[in-house]
Structure 1
């Protein structure tokens, strides 16, 4: 009999060399997290969704070394075959669709609470200790800051867990803390900065909001922030843990380093004209209505993404009015009707097959 775990952590991966030493980074990060969760006795599962695996490389589940032993943590790999990726805008250039991959894991999560997690990040010891208290409230959504660390070389991959976390703390160069949104956006003041690395709430809440929004392209912009606002519209109260954090080792594919806005001359002139005449509300309405400035992501220049005003601000403003009829995904989100291949590489004592 399978006992419901307290926590499910959902990640996504693809064996395509996304970063140098990707397989080693993934195995190391998973191992650290397994050991932390086991140390603090959190009945939990880690779900890794292998999205659109390259046919010429082994599955990541086959590359994992020992992650245990453990009595508290199960590690599951779920494989989503290429046909679910082909046809998306930009699919030939980028093999990953973060929204869809995360949704597959969230839909199949068994925990009482769920959080998505980029698999190359690390939880601070304080964060896992907090989770180990097993005192989460299903009426809340929990956030913490992400700290970006710059490591000089790859030697950190061989450090013991405690030394690694200390090195990450020493090497922090930027803290993604709470930002203040423009009052023109007319949305709730939520901690959306780097929120994709930690949005912890009940599994039921994730189902209520239908997880991450549907995106016909591989860019998946703003989806984490939209989910946070959707949860608030459903009644979730945000709790910002300020003494706990997540560490991310900076690499060349970090989102903020790849995205830029694209203005046309007439858009800039119109925007400056309206702002100078204190017509900021009209300027914002035109950005939403006419969808500018659009955004371009390095490496996917063939796609001109929607403006943040059209794709995020307008939706968050609706959620600020508690418009719970507004849904950003289909009822069968997360490939709910698909039977997907699954492999358990580590099984907790609570998880009896």
Structure 2
């Protein structure tokens, strides 16, 4: 069965953030359950980057898909010999965005979703994807809801989703009705009075500011590495994620502005069409200020002011910065590509 959707994520068996194996298992069990429930032909691609030599490979530890053929699991391996060619290889064991490019370039479905391996997807989100109404020329964003790490990993998927809905710690992402206004209070999503007030403020801002300013303010860059979905041709149009020899933060935002600059419009999904992110000790959003300072000092990464200037440049000039080579995503490199079956 030809897949309608390719879901791409990157990982390695290094226990990143603690309980990584459990989070990956929940991620896959959730998708297997929901994709079959809503009858959505999908391939899940996990790019195993620089697998540790002293640990089992992902193919040995991850749950296998159901035998009905509706969902397939592919593991594409980027070996250590490739990883060590990057200057910051000793600081970073995994180049997340380059790994996702590997998956994008090898995806077989028309639509490609780049995401992460510590998420659950709301039923309404999968139900929407299963309608097969995605459009070429648009990129899709959804809210990310952080939930506690103290979940029962052994529980069945319906229980986990119920727990997630009732234990949201914070919501990251913009509201589709007023994306140029950074409002995150839950009351602004569910209370009609405050929704009207905020919508009015956002309208006044749009009328008072230039179209360019409104577009910049409306770009939903919050946690965009967790859910960015577009047609495979549109990923090709922006040359995927920028392949920077650095930590992944802000690189996902650059991709959104590259898309906007190429006329690929933004579609923010309704709040209930969201992802649930299982918190972990290395998650940047939930770190306290001291942890963030230490993290920023240690990691080779892109400064936000630099990233913001690059984003605005690509939007105004309608260009994609010439960072990636023609063979981005290691296109010309033969890599181990394993289909995991039951």
Short-chain TM bin: 0.7 to 0.9
1:62 aligns with: 60
Cα shift at 1:322: 4.3
Question: Is the CA contact 2:38–2:127 (under 8 Å) kept in the aligned structure 1?
Answer: yes
Q: Supply the distance in 2 between the matched residues of 1:228 and 1:221 (Cα, whole angstroms).
A: 13
CA distance in 1, matches of 2:77, 2:257: 29
Correspondence for 1:125: 123
Partner of 1:196: 225
The answer (yes or no) to whether the contact 1:258–1:297 under 8 Å persists in 2 is: no
How far off its partner does 1:69 sit? Answer: 2.9
Equivalent-residue separation in structure 2 for 1:210 and 1:104 (angstroms): 11
For residues 37-186 of structure 1, the aligned pairs below 5 Å read 37-151=35-149, 153-154=150-151, 156-178=152-174, 180=180, 186=213
Shift of 1:28: 2.5
Is structure 2 residue 266 aligned with structure 1 residue 238? yes
Could you state the TM-score of these two structures normalised by the residue count of structure 1? 0.80
Unaligned runs of 5+ in 2: 183-208
Deviation at 1:122, TM superposition (A): 0.7
Q: Distance in 2 between matches of 1:95 and 1:238?
A: 32
Kindly state the Cα deviation for residue 343 of structure 1 after the two structures are TM-superposed: 1.0
1:330 aligns with 2:330: no
Deviates more, 1:86-95 or 1:170-179: 86-95
Please state if 1:220 is matched with 2:248.
Answer: yes
Aligned length: 307
* Distance in 1 (alpha carbons) for counterparts of 2:19 and 2:320: 44
Distance in 1 separating the partners of 2:301 and 2:158: 41
The alpha-carbon deviation at position 67 of structure 1 amounts to: 3.0
8 A Cα contact 1:73 1:346, kept in partner: no
Q: Distance between the aligned counterparts of 1:329 and 1:202, measured in 2? A: 19
CA distance in 2, matches of 1:108, 1:317: 30
Provide the aligned C-alpha RMSD in A.
Answer: 2.5
Contiguous gaps of at least 5 residues in structure 1: 262-294, 348-353
> For the residues of structure 1 that align with 2:299 and 2:154, how far apart are their CA atoms?
39
Bigger drift between 326-335 and 206-215 goes to 326-335
Distance 1:220 1:163, change over 3 A: same
TM-score when scaled to structure 2? Answer: 0.83
Distance 2:51 2:235 in 1: 26
Greater displacement, 313-322 / 112-121: 313-322
SS in 2 for 1:162: helix
- Give matches, 1:234-273, under 5 Å: 234-242=262-270, 243-257=272-286
Q: 2:341 aligns with which of 327, 341, 346?
A: 346
CA distance in structure 1 between the aligned counterparts of 2:335 and 2:260, rounded to whole angstroms:
31
Partner of residue 270, structure 1:
none
Cross-structure match for 2:26: 28
8 Å CA contact 2:88–2:245 kept in 1: the answer is no
Deviation at 1:216, TM superposition (A): 1.6
